[in-house]
Amino acid sequence: MKNNIVFRHLTWGDIERYCLMMYADMVKDNYHPDCIIGLLRGGIVPARIFSDCFDILLDFFALDVKLYEGINKRKEKPIIGPFSLDSIKGKSILVTDDILDSGKTMNAVLDYLKGEKVTTATLLWKETAKFKPNYYADIAKSNEWIVFPFLRFEFKREMDKKG
């Protein structure tokens, strides 16, 4: 595969462990969000775990952001779907995603939420990204493509296309 991509497979146990590590760091920092926004699609899983940890049942949202089109293929800039900003105005917001890779997605979301109090959390962070999330559990190398357990069928389809 081009660019010498290395596939790193994570398990559901890894995801839970990563979220609990970040939750412990947030508690240690006395951070408690008023609401949680999970970025579709990969950020929904950690957002759901954090909503359980923080006992946030109603102020839990999904924001549709599209950047990737396949393995190591991105659009020029992220596209953000419709979202009602009225429900989060003036609240402390935790935005979650599976990985902060290039930083383009999170930058677009932070621009979209400009003026709000936003904290970011991603399961993994690539050091080559434009910035670092407030919370992350592990570092991914620049040549790694992370295969999350919630993407296994999508990953298999992409690999089957490549032959």
Q: What is the CATH number of the domain that holds 59?
A: 3.40.50.2020
Determine the Cα–Cα distance for residues 50 and 110; give it in Å rounded to an integer. 19
Profile the chain (163 residues) by mean pLDDT over runs of 10 residues: 80 98 98 97 95 95 79 71 90 97 92 96 94 96 93 84 76
The pLDDT score that the predictor gives to residue 1 is: 41
Domain total of the chain: 1
Q: What's residue 74's pLDDT?
A: 62
Phi and psi at 157, nearest 5°, equal -60, -45
At 158 the pLDDT is 83
Query: Which pTM was predicted?
Result: 0.88
Structural domain including 22 reads 2-162
**Per-residue CA distances from 89 to 23, 32, 51, 94 (Å):** 23, 16, 18, 13
The pLDDT of residue 115 = 93
